[in-house]
């Protein structure tokens, strides 16, 4: 990988990865890793990119205690009930109360 460097880095939802790689596949032939990533994104993307971005913005506004990584994880997994959210945060130091969990479920249900 001579001459290649990381220009910028950002955490994005799987739906955005799908969009980026699909656009790139139309222009050039994807490498092996990119092809596998596109296949994964096609299989596991549960929201459209626009809906995912709206959900991320709304979660960020309503739940400022959550880190961006956690919000992206929520949008990628699309939890349906309290137990799903508890599993997502089982290894985090952050403990969500009932009101926050219900907010997450409502927001995700709106965009799924």
pLDDT of residue 2: 60
Give dist(CA 31, CA 76) in Å, integer: 24
Name the average pLDDT for the chain.
Answer: 93
- What separation in angstroms does the CA of 26 have from each of 29, 33, 57, 62, 67? 8, 16, 29, 37, 34
- Where do we find the tokens 């990584």? 69
- Is 49 in contact with 19 (CB distance < 8 Å)? yes
Q: What is the pLDDT of residues 23-48, one digit of tens each?
A: 999 999 999 999 999 999 999 999 99
Mean pLDDT of all residues in 54-79: 96
Mean pLDDT of all residues in 96-109: 95
């Amino acid at each position: 990988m001579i001459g290649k460097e990381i220009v910028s880095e950002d955490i994005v939802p799987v739906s955005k990865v799908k969009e980026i790689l699909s656009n790139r596949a139309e222009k050039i032939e994807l490498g092996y890793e990119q092809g596998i990533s596109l296949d994964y994104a096609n299989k596991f993307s549960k929201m459209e990119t626009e809906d995912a971005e709206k959900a991320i913005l709304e979660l960020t506004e309503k739940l400022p205690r959550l880190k961006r990584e956690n919000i992206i994880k929520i949008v990628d997994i699309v939890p349906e009930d309290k137990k799903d959210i508890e599993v997502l945060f089982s290894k985090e130091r952050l403990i969500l109360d009932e009101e926050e969990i219900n907010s997450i479920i409502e927001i995700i249900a709106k965009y799924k």
